[in-house]
Structure 1
C-alpha cells in the first residue's frame, strides 16, 4: 500500500520530469557545442577557401579570404558581446592552416592541421574513456554544474559520459578514415569539398547520441548548489553559536 505521506508519482509527473531532463540536456549541449551559429562559424572559412580555390586555383587569395572571414566572425561576436570561444577556435584553426599551406606551397596543407586535430581529438575521447575519465564528462561537467561529481557519486551518469565519448571517438575516427586517404590521393578541390560536406553530419550525429545517452542518465548532482547550502548552514551555525555565547 502506498504511504499517504509520500504520494506515488503519476505517469504524467514522470513524463514531465523526463521532458525537463531532456530539455536541460539539450540546452546544455547547445551551449557547449555552439549551436547553429557555432556550426556556421566552423564551416564558413573552409567553404570560402575551397570555393575560391576551385574557381581560380589561387592559394594566397583563398587563404587570405578564409582567414579574413574568420576574423570578421570573431569581430561580430566581440561587438555583440557574445561568447567568442567557438569563433576564436575557428580563427586559430584557419590561421594554422593558412601558415602551413603558405610554408609548403601545397593548398591541400590548408586542411592538414584541422585533420590532425580531429585525429588527436578522436584518440583523446577514446584514451580518456579507457582511463575512466571520459573527455565528454570533463567538458560537460561544468556546464551541468556537476564538475567531476559524476566520477564517484553518479555511476549511471559516468556510464552515459563513457558511451558518449566512445561515440565521439569512433565517429571522428571514421571521419579521419575518409579524409586522410583523400589527402594523399585526391586533389585539393576534391578534398576540400568532401571535408566541407563532412563538417556538420558527423558532428550532429555525435551530439544527438550524446543527448540520447545523457537524457536517459540520472540527473546531474549540482555541486554548486551543495556548496552554497553548506555555506548557508555554516553561517547559521556561526550565528547560533554567537547567540549562545
Structure 2
C-alpha cells in the first residue's frame, strides 16, 4: 500500500522573513534608535539599536525560527550605527539605506536600457525555465518585465528622493517614519507588478510554444 503524496507548501519570501510579525520586529531597532536619541543622545541610541537587534536574534533562537533575517538586520544596524557614530549625526544612521536606494534605482534602470530587465533575469535564475524559449526573444515578455523592473526603479527612486530631502533637513524622526512607510508597503506594490509580469510572460511563452508544435 502506497502512501498518498502530501503537498508541502513551499515557504514564501514573507515566511522566510518571519511573516508579518517578523516585518514589524525588523522596524524595532530603528524606533529604538530614534526614541533613545531624542531622550539620551546619539551614543545611547546606538547602543539601543544594536542591543535591540541582538535581542531579536535571541528571540528567534528561543522561538526556534531562522535567525538569518535577524542577523542580516544586525549587520545593517552595525553599519548604520558606525556611520552615525563617526559622523556624529543621528541622521547618518539612515545614510546606508538612502544611498542603497539610489544604487538599486540605477542598476534596475540600466538593466532596462540594455534590454535585460532585471526582474526577468532574476525570474530566469530562480525558475531555470523559459517555457520553450528565452523570454528575451519575445517582445511581449520583455515588455512585461520592463514594466515590473521600472516599478522597482520608481520605488527606489522615491525612497532616495524623499529620504535624501529629509536627511538634508535633519529630520531624524521623519526619516525613521519614511524608512518604514516607504519600505515594505512600496515593495509590496512592486511585487504585485512583478506577479503580473511573470504571469503575462509565462502565458505568452506558453502560447508561442503551442504555436510551434
TM interval, short-chain normalised: 0.7 to 0.9
Higher Cα Rg: structure 1 or 2? 1
Count of aligned positions: 194
Query: Contact 2:54/2:74 (CA < 8 Å) preserved in 1?
Result: yes
Per-residue deviation, residues 33-57 of structure 1 (Å, max 9, x unmatched)? 8753553354232122223223x04
- Give 1:206-217 correspondences, 5 Å limit: 206-217=190-201
* Corresponding position of 1:186: 170
Does residue 97 of structure 2 align to residue 97 of structure 1? Answer: no
TM-score by length of 2: 0.73
Alignment gaps of 5+ in structure 2: 1-8, 206-213
* Corresponding position of 1:203: 187
Q: Distance in 2 between matches of 1:60 and 1:32?
A: 32
Q: Distance in 2 between matches of 1:87 and 1:68?
A: 12
CA RMSD of superposed structures (Å): 3.3
* Corresponding position of 1:133: 116
* Corresponding position of 2:99: 116
Alignment gaps of 5+ in structure 1: 1-23, 222-245
Per-residue deviation, residues 214-245 of structure 1 (Å, max 9, x unmatched)? 23331599xxxxxxxxxxxxxxxxxxxxxxxx
* Corresponding position of 2:27: 43
Query: Contact 1:136/1:161 (CA < 8 Å) preserved in 2?
Result: yes
Does residue 140 of structure 2 align to residue 160 of structure 1? Answer: no
Query: Contact 2:141/2:204 (CA < 8 Å) preserved in 1?
Result: yes
TM-score by length of 1: 0.65
**Structure 1 residues 28 and 153: CA distance shift in structure 2, 3 A:** farther
Q: Following superposition, which runs of at least 4 residues in structure 1 exceed 6 angstroms of deviation?
A: 31-34
2:53 to 49, 70, 83: 70
